[in-house]
Structure 1
Amino acid sequence: MGGLVLTQSFDLLVIGGGIHGAAVARDAAGRGLKVMLAEKGDYASATSSASSKLIHGGLRYLEHLELSLVRESLVERAGLLETAPHLIAPIRFLLPIYGWQKRQALRLRAGLAIYDVLSFGDALPASGRLDDDDIAQLPRLRQENLTTVLHYHDCMTDDARLTLAVLLDAGARGADIKNRRAVTSIVPLANGYGIDLDERGQKRRVEARFIVNASGPWVGNVDAMTEAAPPRRPLRLVRGSHIVLKMPEPPQADAYTLQDEEERVVFVIPWLDRRFLIVGTTDVLHQGDPALAKCSAEEEAYLLQAYNRYFAGARGPAAHADIVFTWSGVRALDGDTETKPSRITRKPALAEIANGTGGFVTLYGGKLTTHRALAEEVMASLRRLGAEVGGPWTKDVKLHGGSLPRSELLARAEHGPESIPPDMRRRWALTYGDQIEVLFKRIAAEPALVDEIAPGVTRAELEYAVQAEDAMTAEDFLLRRTKLQLLLDAAGRAAVRQWFATAA
């Protein structure tokens, strides 16, 4: 490590800017630790932006008797509805039951009853059964051999924005948060670790008493940087892929939980104001670099087959040509090689090791929904290793942008500046939350900021994304700060890329 100058020391270095690294950084900073977070790419640029966009208990985990995981998830779901109301919204799921399915209505009704009990107190509607008239009016759902349709509620989110909200909250509490900051080496010291960083092209060295490896599918690579990492646990890399279809006419408001022949679950979820349908996910063992994960032709065919088995469109079955977008994320799960990928538990596992008065914690598994609770487990692990930290504090504490109830937020958007179209104000409200006031104030001070770089994309929004949210590329903005990648045409996307190339 010669030739570098020591610039700073930290209590904790968190490696990974996905949802779990973000949650650990936030929790640790709020307990008084001096925290740095290093993300080699963009925030949430891997698994944390490639989920099914759900904040849910995980109905299928009941079948595996993981009651504690489901209960924890449902408690966290209720909390997120309050702490990030701009990003979390309830949605009704329909569960159609056909004669050919192995799981029949009685068994599933029992599962939903348990789900209701475990979610007691969250104010979401109870599960139930649609009446025959409602079933007959469901658009496109095949009616042949259909015995009944059950319903229950869960929640949707923008996973990348949720990760960013946690990160920005961590930054507001003093954590040193930065993307394009890659860890290049880790060397054990007497009481902690020395770390080399490549920070947007600049070489830097820091010291940290503790390290938390929350790098998702790269946990093995990071642990391999030092002999002073925790003992390895069995790691399974499981790819989950999704396809996106344009919403058929008439649009559907409900999501669906579908069963396939192998008793897996596939979701069909309305997305982006019912403009699209998300169909996913798969569970496939992943080989190779997780950064190169893509939805394979086999996964596309599987998801199309699952969709077409349940739905009949006026224009015929959905086909490859109807897919407008795909994504794939790789989950780093703690599981043995004998278990089917779809049956490997999503419960997190931690590995830890002391190094002098410091230590190293590696995180496996975990769910988007339970990120806050998992961060508390990591903090307990750090305390066991000798970290002097305060007690838990994050429960029911608002996330960045989440101070206003959704109804009040939308009311403020409705009465915002007339120079901004109503649909843009609404999109801003449900993207930036209470920070919409920052955008409004910028525009009031400099009216020219409402100039559009692309249809529906103002200079005010682009500059805010760069200055306040670390967006460095058009992809950062189009895919993760927003979802405009799907809403703009080719010319609009090109205009945003040109702006980042010349003005950002």
Structure 2
Amino acid sequence: MQHLDLVVIGAGINGVGVAQFARAAGYSVLLLDRGKVGGQTSANSSKLIHGGLRYLESMQLDLVRKSLKARRDLLRLAPELVRPVPFYIPIYRHSRRSAFTIGAGLSLYGLLSEFDPLGRFQRVPKLEWAKFKGLRQDSLHTVFQYWDAQTDDARLTRAVAASARELGALVQEDTEVTAIRHSAAGCELELNCHGETISVAASAVVNAAGPWVNELLHRVQPPAPSERLQWVQGAHLLLDIPAFDGIFYLESCFDKRVVFVMPWYGKTLIGTTETPIDSLTSEPQVTAAEQAYLLGIFRHYFPDAGSESELAQKIVARFCGVRVLPRVASDAFDAPRDTLIHTSHSHPRLLSLYGGKLTTFRDSAAEVLDWVHGRLGARTELADPDKLMLHPAPECHWDDLCVQTR
């Protein structure tokens, strides 16, 4: 039976980040996914590397500060994958958030960015509003412009996985964990790898299965405790409309939420929603209500774009990711978005990750690495993650485990 220091289950952005950091620290690592690397939630986000301006409303200041630093780091480490983009916030006389409120929020956003050049913002002069082709102009009071960043989430995830693999991590797709037997000394995992049953031993296991985090915990013996969670679906529509020069940050005309209208490979991407769902028994699908919601907001701000039925004809893709949020009494819009790291005294060799943001995956990886170090002790460091550049990964088959065990 092959023995490793660490097995990471789930090759979304959190899992690949943990694998990269742990392998750079010298631990032997196996990264598993029952589907493809970056094939689920990490391929269906809003494609943003951002501080989370709206999180200031719920006073998640530490999360915003951490996210802005993470944005700065990713712009440095992955310049081919993460790029700065201008964001525009139009304020109307009837907007829930006044120009004063938005201006104050952007000032705080800039302060939390620790004087990063991307922390600056401005009011766009009225003489320049005509450049926003199609944007509703009546009752338009103020337009703010600030900076954040955009990425191809799936490509970024694969780039981090490729970095971990280059350091020597094993990466295995299409492999399901069917059982985990936990003991004080470590874990034994039973895997279904392309129809073949394989057993692997590990000194520690990280459960980064995303929306399926509790489903995986149900396969642990003895039974492992879990956190209460809620699944929230975020829907997106890709329209065959020429992309705008920048991203619009738009207050919903239906509720207090905000949505983004973004350029995406020459077309226009609209997202996202926050729809609670009760199960993951089938592939998440954009609902008729979500489509009407997103198209309604788009038509409100771009009234000449056409009727809802005309816009529906221009939809070339629909997708939605499922976010994991703590189960709270408040609306999902206000729920905390930071990663929850769950451990228990009864299962000292197992750690589970709940939720988190695409932007802050490296912070989550660093926290998990501290836990691994505390459990396993130090190894000879192979590389500094803060100096590992990320490049677009070539298309390849991630099949390292099966190759070694045949």
TM-score, normalisation: structure 2: 0.92
Structure 1 position 354, deviation (Å): 5.0
CA contact (8 A) 2:299 2:305 kept: no
1:249-398 residue pairs with structure 2 within 5 A? 251-260=243-252, 261-272=254-265, 275-289=266-280, 292-313=283-304, 315-316=306-307, 319-336=311-328, 338-354=329-345, 359-388=349-378, 394=384, 396-398=386-388
Aligned residue pairs, count: 397
Moved more, 51-60 or 171-180: 171-180
- Which consecutive residues of structure 2, in runs of 5 or more, have no partner in the other structure? 400-406
SS in 2 for 1:262: coil
Say which SS state the counterpart of residue 37 (structure 2) adopts. Answer: coil
5 Å-filtered alignment, 1:31-110, equals: 31-110=25-104
Question: Are the equivalent residues in 1 in contact too, given 2:33–2:176 (CA < 8 A)?
Answer: yes
Which residue type is aligned with residue 232 of structure 2? V
Once residues 68 and 281 of structure 2 are traced to their aligned partners in structure 1, the CA distance between those partners, rounded to angstroms, is: 29
1:218 matched to 2:212: yes
**Aligned residues of 1:267 and 1:279 also touching (Cα < 8 A):** yes
Look up the equivalent residue of 2:199 and give its one-letter code.
R
Cα distance change on mapping 1:268 and 1:10 into 2, 3 Å: same
Q: Which residue of 2 aligns with 1:165?
A: 159
Instruction: Select the structure with the greater relative contact order (CA < 8 A; seq sep ≥ 6).
Output: 2
Deviates more, 1:289-298 or 1:102-111: 289-298
Aligned-pair CA distance for 1:114: 0.8
1:458 aligns with none
Per-residue Cα deviation, 1:180-217 (whole angstroms, up to 9, x for no partner): 11111111245111111111222100111111000000
Cα distance, 1:45 vs structure 2: 1.1
Pairwise CA distance, 1:28: 0.7
Are residue 129 (structure 1) and residue 119 (structure 2) matched? no
Once the two structures are TM-superposed, the CA of residue 146 in structure 1 deviates from its matched residue by 1.1
Question: Is this contact kept in 2: 1:91–1:255, CA < 8 A?
Answer: yes
> 1:406 is matched with which residue?
none
Q: How does 1:216-255 map to 2 (within 5 A)?
A: 216-228=210-222, 230-248=224-242, 251-255=243-247
Q: Which has the larger radius of gyration?
A: 1
Conserved? CA contact 1:82–1:396, under 8 Å? no
Q: In 1, Cα distance between the equivalents of 2:241 and 2:355?
A: 32
Counterpart selection for 1:207 from 188, 196, 201:
201
CA contact 2:88–2:248 (8 Å) conserved in 1: yes
Unaligned residue ranges in structure 1 (runs of 5+): 1-5, 402-430, 433-463, 471-504
**Cα drift, residue 122 of structure 1:** 3.2
The one of 28, 31, 37 equivalent to 2:22 is: 28
**1:104-159: CA deviation from partner (whole Å, max 9, x where unpaired):** 10000000011111113433261111101111331000011111111111000010
Question: Is this contact kept in 2: 1:347–1:366, CA < 8 A?
Answer: yes
Q: Please tell me whether the aligned partners of residues 217 and 290 of structure 1 are also in contact (alpha carbons under 8 angstroms).
A: no
Please say if 1:140 is aligned against 2:134. yes
In structure 1, distance between residues paired with 2:185 and 2:86? 52
Cα deviation code 1:438-483 (max 9, x no counterpart):
xxxxxxxxxxxxxxxxxxxxxxxxxx5235x67xxxxxxxxxxxxx
CA contact (8 A) 1:79 1:395 kept: no
**Counterpart in 1 of 2:113?**
119
The answer to which structure has the higher strand fraction is: 2
Distance in 2 (CA, whole Å) between partners of 1:354 and 1:174 is 31
Deviation at residue 343 of structure 1 after TM alignment: 1.5
Question: Aligned pair 1:466/2:364, yes or no?
Answer: no
Aligned to 1:405: none
Match for residue 176 of structure 2 among 173, 182, 187: 182
The one-letter code sitting in structure 2 at the alignment partner of 1:116 is: G
Cα deviation 1:394-437 (Å, max 9, x = unaligned): 55323342xxxxxxxxxxxxxxxxxxxxxxxxxxxxx55xxxxx
Match for 1:26: what amino acid?
Q
Name the CA distance, whole Å, in 1 between partners of 2:281 and 2:110: 36
Counterparts of 2:370 and 2:230, CA distance in 1: 25
After TM superposition, the structure 1 stretch with the greater mean CA deviation from structure 2, 312-321 or 52-61, is: 312-321
Q: Deviations over 1:35-85 (max 9, x none)?
A: 111100011111000000000000000111111100100001011111011
CA shift at 1:335, angstroms? 3.2
Map 1:143-154 to 2 at 5 A: 143-154=137-148
**Which has a greater percent of helix?**
1
When residues 314 and 269 of structure 1 are mapped into structure 2, their CA distance, relative to the original with a 3 A threshold, is: closer
Compared CA separation, residues 280 and 172, structure 1 to 2 (3 A): same
Instruction: Please state how far the C-alpha of 1:179 moved relative to its aligned partner.
Output: 0.9
Amino acid at match of 2:362: R
Q: 1:319 aligns to what SS in structure 2?
A: helix
Moved over 4 A (4+): 314-318, 389-395
Q: Percent identity?
A: 36
Matches within 5 A, 1:447-466: 465-466=395-396
Distance 1:253 1:42 in 2: 32
Q: CA RMSD in A?
A: 2.1
Which whole-Å deviations, capped at 9, do the CAs of 1:293-317 have from their partners, x for residues lacking one? 1111111110001111111235555
Counterpart CA distance in 1 for 2:357 and 2:382 is 19
